[in-house]
Amino acid sequence: MSESILIVVTIIVVAIIVLAITVLGLAICVLAGYLARIPDCKVTIGEVGRAIGAIVGVGFEAVATIITSVRRP
């Protein structure tokens, strides 16, 4: 695969990750508002944040793998 194609693919993947982080951030805000109205709820914002952080971490690892897999002459 040529390097220019790899760069384009990497940019697309990064854009998707940024979009996903934005959507997940909005979801956390909505969830926080919802959980604030339920006094006996057992799910905390910290647990939700850790789960989302794990998902985002896997995405960053995927991008790093794509970038570092380039074989340069």
For the chain, give every domain's residue range: 3-68
11 Cβ neighbours under 8 A, 6+ residues apart: none
**Mean pLDDT score of the chain:** 77
pLDDT at 3: 73
pLDDT at 71: 62
Whether this model's pTM surpasses 0.75: no
CB 20 within 8 A of CB 59: yes
Between CA 13 and CA 62 the distance in angstroms is: 9
The mean per-residue pLDDT over the stretch 33-61 comes to 76
pLDDT at 15: 85
Q: Quote the crossing angle between the two packed helices 3-36 and 45-68, to the nearest 10°.
A: 180
3-state secondary structure of 73: coil
